[in-house]
Amino acid sequence: MAQAILVQRTRSYLREGVFVEIVVWHVPAPLRGSAHGFKYSMALVAGGECVLRYDNEAGKGDHRHFGVEEAPYVFMGIDELLADFGADVRGWLRDNP
């Protein structure tokens, strides 16, 4: 049976008390609710609180959390996912100096 392959696992500190953690797996079959072969979780954590997260939890499909709000996310590929997450991180950093 095919196994999941780790594509990326990084934690980057952006400033004191603020970091980004990205974990991406290539999976042998799409998760329930997703139509692609990736499992991912990308989070921006500030002061010990997750303020932004993109993930595709099994059964929920692709979505993002921004504060307490949750919204669907249209997955167009890993490069686009990383770019969208990066843009939201930059926006949060700009709005929270």
**What average pLDDT does the structure give for the chain?**
93
User: What pLDDT does 38 receive?
Assistant: 93
User: What pLDDT does 59 receive?
Assistant: 79
Q: Where are the beta strands (DSSP E) in 1-97?
A: 5-15, 18-26, 38-46, 49-55, 63-66, 69-72
Could you say which DSSP state residue 62 is in?
S
Question: Count of residues for the chain?
Answer: 97
Separate counts of helices (H) and strands (E) for the chain: 1, 6
pLDDT in tens, 12-32: 999 999 999 999 999 988 888
pLDDT in tens, 32-65: 888 899 999 999 999 999 999 999 987 789 999 9
Could you say which DSSP state residue 47 is in?
T
User: What pLDDT does 1 receive?
Assistant: 56
How many C-beta atoms lie closer than 10 Å to residue 15's C-beta?
9
